[in-house]
Chain A
């Protein structure tokens, strides 16, 4: 007797259909699973056996062979448990349903027959829809996530007997619905608001510019000056995510298994802040069983590296390519997969080893050489990808106490949205979306300066000792500032402000 059941595996951030073929024949009793499964897949034998038995059904004492097709693709995880169990039950005719090929089964079994949640449900559901499958059967804890996919019947179950009753027509399971639009629009809320940040007018302004052009930035300031506080609020002024963006972010988080319980969709831009002891692999992704790294988890959001000079050199170096391409490619002998990684990079650093170089109230105990060396650890190629430099000063107690109303994030976000829209319209058909992605050839086209502007830039280079790498960055940022004011051409004031955001290029940092 033979049965075929559909399930789903994952490669990268996408699912693919796995056919679970079960053959039961006479012979010495045995239970074999083939099809390049990892340990979790091989161990499912024991879970399946116990679950079937403990549900009060019969486990055949015969020769059972399971094949997970395509058999040449590596499979991992416990999500195949449910389909293997149903394959055996179908092959022994304990389950009878002629329309089984319209179902896809996902779920891990516990020994008593309960169905437990697994990771990566969203990409699997999308894959099912694309493969023309009508019904997806999954653990109830994963129902919200799958219900986001329109056009798919989501059938959540608690235990294996529920699905058997459903398939045998005894007790059908209700289709699970959620109000996607409702969730999408109501869920956008930011607990952290820029209104909480007192003072820091120039830091806020710089971040608004950064958000408006999706520019990577670095904040330099003494410990306690509020770098982390403002960085955490950055997602709240970024443009709201579109549904497609939200879907993609949720997919990645689902695969990584960090989607919070009962969450159907991530609607706020992610903010990831890995500790500086992070390895290069966990930062960009990879490993024996590849997982998305922090930069992919920050996709469409913010990757914040606090105390960036403390990060290992390797970790920072591997960031360069993904920052450029917006995608991480992981190559293995038998496969290569990619994770999207379009994150805005925000770095924070103390100005020196002791941290007090910029603090007027405390004494810096570093020698000039140490000051120079500290930020010197950041490699040129990494700094080359940073458009905006922000110096953060400590807020005086007086300002913390003040009742002055600070601007709300929502207001700032509106302005940012406007500036982004101008960029989207301008770069239509160019495969870029924001000023930060401008390539040198495009800079010549879109960031033209008049003679006065050229003169200003030249004298800035002469007098302020800016390094050559500053040139294009200043132009891009000036373009963004002009967009924020809805100005077609870059005016002198825009250019002048952009020059202010290159403080690390100045001589006093270089000794």
Chain B
């Protein structure tokens, strides 16, 4: 594809040519090679091009750069999917400003049921938990989970999906040679292996702030619906929700504690008509995925915790923890067990997998 690809890469790298201009040009010239060969007079006749952009299109330096871009793409073993390729995700193709080129590491599949899960980077343990669980359950039911590999909710949604052995797509706001955030390097590797990491940016593009809203339109565009878990009032996740509405995608929101700032955004979405997620079926209904009628196991809401096999002290602790995660001091006070015994009992329960310790000596019930 070499020779043919270089024109695509060139088109993608011209300053002033975004997704929208590119698609207009492609409509007119049919393929990037024709644009490359177009004469200046021809380009000047197009009303949507400014003089500056035309200069850039004719610029020899930018054309020469394309070789280097191409080399970098090969070096990083990045696949390129153009909007004219069959493999190009069909939902994404339909949006108004679909990226002409997608850079991919991993495997894209043409028709797959996809749901995006996005949310706050600084999530609460509840939010992280929900992200992981929804990611897990959707994957178990064969839905591909899309997210942005950001810290917090995004990462947990991916890892939930990976845990279930499902497919997951990560859409980045930078070139695929950069891992952002850096601590997600191992996660990115696993996503490449059992899904794909996608970006519209050439390798070498840094994760600058303005890339992320644009990235969000791909997240929603590539998906049938977007689940938002935890977002404060001015969150990037709400931008994703807006894109989703523009693109005609379903918007789901996971309700949260009304006193938590992390729930303000999601609760607002619900108030404004987003579909509330109280169980996995709420999502499945809208995207026409049906579970077989006897399959009852994939549920978000856990049944009442089982206290079988616990002695009386442990039962008291478990009952308190089933209300909310609790600090060890409060736990000791409420259960009238002294602190040293409490320490011992909790470690035993933790080792048996009944409770889990969070930073700050706070304990919660493990499902």
What is A's interface to B at a CB cutoff of 8 Å?
Answer: 199-202, 204-205, 351, 357-360, 363-365, 367-369, 391, 393, 456, 459-460, 463-464, 481, 492-494, 496-497, 499-500, 503, 506, 508-509, 511
Contacts and interface: CB of A to CB of B under 8 A. Distances in A.
Nearest to A352: B359
Contacts of B333: 201
Contact of B358 (A205, A481, A497, A508): A508
B344 A492 contact: yes
B122 interface: yes
A357 B359 contact: yes
Contact of B183 (A360, A481, A508, A511): A511
A221 to B, nearest CB: 8
Best-surrounded residue of A360, A369, A456 (most CB of chain B within 10 A): A360
Interface string B5-28: 000000000000000000000000
Contacts of A460: 347, 351
B359 A205 contact: no
B192 interface: no
B359 A509 contact: yes
Nearest to B152: A368
Contact of B359 (A202, A363, A391): A391
A497 B360 contact: no
Given A503-B357, A508-B359, 10 more contacts: A202-B339, A202-B343, A358-B360, A360-B362, A365-B122, A367-B151, A367-B183, A393-B329, A393-B360, A506-B357
B181 A367 contact: yes
Contacts of A500: 343-344, 346-347
A485 to B, nearest CB: 9
Given A368-B183, A463-B350, A509-B359, A200 B344 contact: no
A481 B362 CA distance: 22
Which 4 A-B pairs give the minimum distances between C-beta atoms? A358-B360, A496-B344, A493-B344, A497-B343
25 contacts: A199-B329, A200-B329, A201-B328, A201-B329, A202-B339, A202-B342, A205-B339, A205-B343, A358-B360, A360-B362, A363-B122, A364-B122, A367-B181, A369-B181, A391-B360, A393-B329, A393-B360, A456-B351, A460-B347, A492-B348, A496-B347, A496-B348, A500-B344, A509-B359, A511-B183
Specify which of A367, A368, A496 lies most central, judged by the most chain B CB atoms within 10 Å of its CB.
Answer: A496
A365 B346 CA distance: 30
Contacts of A459: 351
A369 B332 contact: no
B206 interface: no
A357 B151 CA distance: 15
A481 B360 contact: no
Contacts of A369: 181-183
Interface of B: 122, 151, 181-183, 261, 327-329, 332-333, 339-348, 350-351, 353, 357-362
Contacts of B329: 199-202, 393
Contacts of A351: 359-360
A507 to B, nearest CB: 10
A199 B343 CA distance: 16
A506 B359 CA distance: 9
B347 A393 contact: no
Nearest to A459: B351
Contact of A360 (B342, B351, B360): B360
B325 to A, nearest CB: 9
Contacts of A463: 350-351, 353
A391 B332 contact: no
A463 B346 CA distance: 14
Nearest to B122: A363
A481 B341 CA distance: 11
A333 to B, nearest CB: 50
A500 B329 CA distance: 14
B328 A493 contact: no
B361 A503 contact: yes
Nearest to A484: B340
B344 A497 contact: yes
Nearest to A485: B340
B116 to A, nearest CB: 23
A497 B350 CA distance: 12
Contacts of B343: 202, 205, 496-497, 500
A509 B359 CA distance: 8
Contacts of B261: 363
Nearest to A368: B183
A464 B345 CA distance: 15
A459 B348 CA distance: 10
A464 B353 CA distance: 11
A449 to B, nearest CB: 15
